A and B are shown apart, each in its own frame.
Chain A
Amino acid sequence: MTTWDDLLGTALVGTGRRPFRAADLAIAGAERIEAGSPEAAVLAAAALADGYRRAGWAPPIRRGTRPRPADPDDRPECSPAAAQLLELLLGRAIGLENGAEPLIADWLRLCRAARQRPPMATLPALLRTGTTTAALRPLVKQVAGPRGTWLAARNPAWRWATTVPPEAVDEVFTTGTRAERLALLDDLRRTDPGRARELVGRTWHEEQAATRAAFLDALHTGLSDADEALLERALDDRASTVRAAAVALLDRLPGSARAQRMARRALRLRNPDGTFALPGEPDRAARRDGVTGATEPGHGRGASRLIQVLTGTPLSTWDPADIPGAGPEVLAGWTRAALRQRDATWLTALARHRPGPELLAALAPADAAAVLDDQHRYDARFGALLAAAPGPWPAAFSTRIVQRLRDRKADAVVRLAARALAEHLHPSALAALEEWLLDPGQDRAATRRTLRGIAHALTIRATILQEFT
């Protein structure tokens, strides 16, 4: 027992129960303590001994290798003003009607485009934001750079932002949790899709059905014709969820053998006048290719089967000029085919024929703007289309749409599409918005509030833009 422990023991039980003499302490100076009572002796000894303890504290020596430091980041740091904006947005210090996330996304996109990096001090807040807002993760991960990846590897909550080093891929895929393996696949599909496919194939037969289906879903990223063989085999899977996942992926590969089989089925159904006959009960081969008994919302069984056949058929089989004469189930099939095959010509043609939010969202911003320019009824449907139009909106279109909404007093549309307006309007439309706000004819408080919110977001976006150009 050390001298200090002895002293502490006495103090804990009290001098009323245990006697104490300072002179017995084996520390230098104890013999000079003058104390008239045991209490005074304990207190004086404590002052002396704790003085030694504090002044003589020696640090533990930590041996062993240091953790590997972060890789260097050669991107220049963004401007101080840009950094301050990011801090305000991340700290939610700016009150925004539609939340700070769209503006954070804007900031990150512009920072990435300018090949700059955020200040290191903002990385923890950025990673926290990515943790709560999954939609921002890919952007955060890219912009945070090597320092962000390094930092994320130290916090389990930020696992999503880590990158598995090539030498550890095998080990993580063999021993990781399902979430870790899926994150790894998703990562690999961006850089080395073949390697990810090879990993999926390696343990395919040992995985549970739910894992097999999830693995197939992970192949969405970086999908190519090279994945066809794996998907074709998955069509024979025992589990219906796995077969459905394979069908959904094969719908995206118009060059596959399965697409050709679907095309033959579709052509057999085509009548000389260009209409389609409804397919009967599917045979075994058709069921294997994804023509199932499931019904599509709003369609009968036969129509549903036709939609499934058309979805799987390459759009190059048909002529977009036939769109205006097509029946509802044919339109539904072609629309789904265009969305899955990401065929810009068909998407644009279909959107022009009958605009819908889903189609518009799949278009390039300029094409979507052109479609909206042709719409002249300012109803709820228009609001939904505007809300779905992808950004960034072209400058001329932005000013024009603000003008049109103001001229037609389309307050309801403004409120329906407020978030999209705040997020996608080009900053040059700010002048038109402010004019609208100053318009004495604009007297509805709710609309004014919405407009002010949009103008506020636009001001901040203009500042961000300015800081990165």
Chain B
Amino acid sequence: MGSRWTVARVLALAPDAGSVRAAKGLANPRTWSDLGSTESLLWGKCQGSARAPYQVTVDLTEPAFRCTCPSRKTPCKHGLALLLLWAAADGSVADMRTAEPFAAEWAQARRKPARGGEADPQARARRIAERESLMSAGIDDVELWLHDLVRQGLAAARHQPASFWETAAARLVDAQLPGLADRVRALGGEILARADWAPHLLGELGRCYLAVCAWRRRADLDEATLGDLRTVLGWARRRDEIGDRVADRWHVVGRSQEQDERLLSQRTWLSGESTGETVVLLDFAAAGQALQVSHVLGSVVDGEVARYPGGPPRRALLAGDGHAVTEGAGLPQATDVRTALGRAATWLAGNPWLRRVPLALAGMTVVPGDPALLVDGDGAALPLAPGADLWQLLALSGGHPVGVFGEWIDQRLHPLTLQVDDRLVAV
């Protein structure tokens, strides 16, 4: 997600107190449709008193507002409410690649007279400086919070109510640290759900602290480490900053989708045939809408990807056009467990915040049990995640050794793909 504003910053734009009250009442996803945002634009349709919904667009660079409602205030309550929804960063306003036509047309019409390149570089530098100081304050806050937790003991932390973690996460969102906020929010559930909650919590807090230290020394970090740090903090790169291209025949080896009530997100794992590199594509869509991109499991995309800065496995985008898509035959670079974990160890050494480790494994036998295991030819056993569909895996493999692609998270394998003969099957 891009750099979203704080609620305070949004409300500072309000022409009067009445607008604030009205906007807060309207800042509810139920009254809105066609919500979305890009780096510079934010739009949505709000059902008001008129029959047709008002079309609301905000140019975030200035900011400038446009709304089809009859109000003379600028911004009107609809524009403010839209900004509030967006600032909440709760997924109701998804990041999109392209704007809705009504928003894009208005933005284009506005830009035309003042062409002269992209946004003002000075304004941009100012915005970045603003964000960095906000984040630095948030980082100081996190450090104090972490110190308090460790001083009072993790055993005490376990008895905190859910609101304890929610509040901490909300503060992190306000400080423009949504990546850390996600981790803290997840912790609240995990310490109740997991049998190994204590070592898990300690490890996670350690990694949060590592992010604190790394942020303070960000000037000394190399490009890859800085990229990983920005990912863990949740400061996404702009698409036009992504330029590190590499060409290969990219096999689509795994896909997973996650859907919450507001956002559909998809990870697509690609494996390069000659480079041996594994990259991941991330796509998002608002709930109820279709993803714009959908890659067929088992197909091969011949062309370039642009990689985000960071350690391997890196996030990437399909770059350029004219990607030829052909049919693949199986999992490239599948290895035994020892080799795959060795590769994972190298990645973890480079990026201590890495959570989802892609593993391509060959010759794995599914062994039911508690937990169920995937066992390679040497007997090395990986426990399956509790949510994995064991019966599906057994039905597809029939007890024979098969190739498996999955995500290795906290010493549990979440299988995504099974190789049956030469075919890749999603599980």
Contacts and interface: CB of A to CB of B under 8 A. Distances in A.
Interface of A: 4, 7-8, 11-17, 37-40, 42-51, 53-63, 66-70, 120-121, 123-124, 147, 150-151, 154-155
B348 A51 contact: yes
Nearest to A70: B398
Contact of A42 (B150, B152, B367): B150
B243 interface: no
B367 A147 contact: no
Interface stretch (B162-170, B232-240, B374-382): B374-382
Interface stretch (B56-64, B85-93, B207-215, B314-322): B207-215
B155 A16 contact: no
A58 B380 CA distance: 9
B151 A124 contact: no
B293 interface: no
A121 B425 contact: yes
A50 B398 contact: no
Given A57-B341, A67-B367, A11 B150 contact: yes
A214 to B, nearest CB: 31
Given A43-B206, A154-B368, A13 B398 contact: no
Interface stretch (B1-9, B108-116, B261-269, B387-395): B387-395
Contacts of B213: 44
Contacts, number: 141
Given A46-B205, A50-B203, A11 B398 contact: no
B324 interface: no
Given A59-B337, A121-B395, A39 B206 contact: no
Given A59-B381, A121-B396, A124-B389, 11 more contacts: A7-B202, A11-B202, A42-B150, A45-B206, A47-B206, A59-B337, A59-B382, A61-B378, A67-B399, A120-B396, A120-B420
Contacts of A151: 391, 394-395, 398
A17 B389 CA distance: 45
A46 B203 contact: yes
B373 interface: yes
Contact of B348 (A8, A11, A54): A54
Nearest to B152: A14
Nearest to A62: B381
Given A46-B202, A61-B378, A11 B367 contact: no
A146 to B, nearest CB: 9
B221 interface: no
Nearest to A69: B399
Nearest to B199: A8
10 contacts: A14-B152, A44-B210, A47-B209, A48-B206, A54-B348, A61-B378, A67-B399, A120-B395, A121-B395, A124-B391
Given A14-B152, A14-B156, A47-B352, A147 B381 contact: no
A47 B210 contact: yes
Given A51-B348, A66-B365, A69-B399, A11 B380 contact: no
B400 interface: yes
Given A46-B209, A55-B344, A66-B367, A14 B150 contact: yes
The 7 closest A-B pairs by CB, nearest first: A14-B153, A46-B206, A69-B399, A47-B206, A50-B203, A43-B209, A70-B398
Contact of B380 (A12, A43, A56, A61): A61
Interface of B: 146-147, 150-156, 198-199, 202-203, 205-207, 209-210, 213, 337-338, 341, 344-345, 348-349, 352, 365, 367-368, 373, 375, 378-382, 389, 391-392, 394-396, 398-400, 411, 420, 425
A59 B380 contact: yes
A214 B210 CA distance: 70
Contacts of A61: 378-381
A121 B378 CA distance: 27
A66 B398 CA distance: 12
Interface of B is mostly: helix
B380 A155 contact: no
B108 to A, nearest CB: 43
Contact of B206 (A38, A50, A124): A50
Nearest to A61: B379
A55 B345 contact: yes
A15 B150 contact: yes
Which of B150, B348, B367, B381: most chain A CB closer than 10 A? B150
Nearest to B395: A123
A374 B393 CA distance: 55
Which of A11, A15, A66: most chain B CB closer than 10 A? A11
B80 to A, nearest CB: 40
Contacts of A147: 395, 398
B366 to A, nearest CB: 9
Contact of B399 (A16, A42, A68): A68
Nearest to B203: A50
A90 to B, nearest CB: 13
A8 B198 contact: yes
A69 B398 CA distance: 6
Contact of A39 (B146, B337, B378, B382): B146
Contacts of B394: 151, 154
Contact of A11 (B154, B345, B400): B154
Given A40-B209, A155-B391, A62 B375 contact: yes
A370 B203 CA distance: 78
Nearest to A34: B213
A169 to B, nearest CB: 23
B155 A12 contact: yes
B378 A124 contact: no
A154 to B, nearest CB: 6
B400 A69 contact: yes
B335 to A, nearest CB: 13
Which of B202, B391, B411, B420: most chain A CB closer than 10 A? B202
Contacts of A58: 341
A18 to B, nearest CB: 9
A112 B344 CA distance: 47
A15 B367 contact: no
A460 to B, nearest CB: 24
Which of B348, B389, B395, B398: most chain A CB closer than 10 A? B395
A17 B156 CA distance: 12
A153 B420 CA distance: 21
Contacts of A54: 203, 348, 411
